[in-house]
Amino acid sequence: MVHSLWGNGVLEAGLTVPSVIPTVRVPQQREARTGACAFRVVFPIRNRICALKLLTLSTWLGELRELLPAASPDLSSSAVVRWPAYAGATCPLCGAFEGSAIASHPSPCGLCAAAPPTFDVARSLFAYAGDVRAAIVASKYAARPYPVDAVVLRLREALAGRWRDLIPDEAPPTVVPVPAHPWKYFRRGFNLPALIASRLSRHAGLPFDPLALSRTREQGPQARLPGILRHENVEGAFRVPRSRKVPRAILLLDDVYTSGATAEACARALKSAGADSIVVVTVARAVP
* Cα distances (angstroms) measured from residue 56 to each of 45, 61, 159, 221, 265: 22, 9, 43, 20, 31
Nearest Cα residue to 121 out of 84, 156, 95: 95
For residues 12 and 125, the model is more confident at 125
Quickly count: other Cβ atoms within 10 Å of residue 91's Cβ: 20
What is the predicted pLDDT for the residue at 141? 86
Which amino acid is present at 191? N
**CA 196 centroid distance within chain:** 12
pLDDT over 80 (residue 227): no
pLDDT digits (tens, 9 = 90+) for 35-76: 444 444 444 444 444 544 444 554 555 555 555 555 578 999
Which helix (H) or strand (E) is 256 found in, with range? strand 249-257
Q: Lowest-pLDDT range, 31-35, 90-94, 144-148?
A: 31-35
For 21-46, what is the mean pLDDT? 42
CA gap 73, 136 in Å, rounded: 10
**Predicted local distance difference test score (pLDDT) of residue 200:** 97
What pLDDT is recorded for position 35? 46
Q: Are 175 and 223 in contact (CB under 8 A)?
A: no
Per the CB < 8 A criterion, the answer to whether 176 and 209 are in contact is yes
Output the pLDDT for position 191. Answer: 95
Confidence at 230, pLDDT banded by 50, 70, 90: low
- Per-residue pLDDT, averaged over 158-163, amounts to 95
Listed in sequence order, the residues at least 6 apart from 126 whose beta carbon sits closer than 8 Å to its beta carbon are 83, 84, 85, 86, 132, 283, 284, 285
Instruction: Please give the biggest Cα pair distance in the chain.
Output: 54
pLDDT digits (tens, 9 = 90+) for 242-279: 889 999 999 999 999 999 999 999 999 999 999 999 99
Q: Which of 28-32, 61-65, 213-217, 231-235 has the lowest mean pLDDT?
A: 28-32
DSSP string, 5-69: -SS--HHHHT----SS-----PPPP---STTHHHHHHHS-GGGHHHHGGGS-HHHHHHHHHHHSP
What is the overall mean pLDDT for the chain? Answer: 79
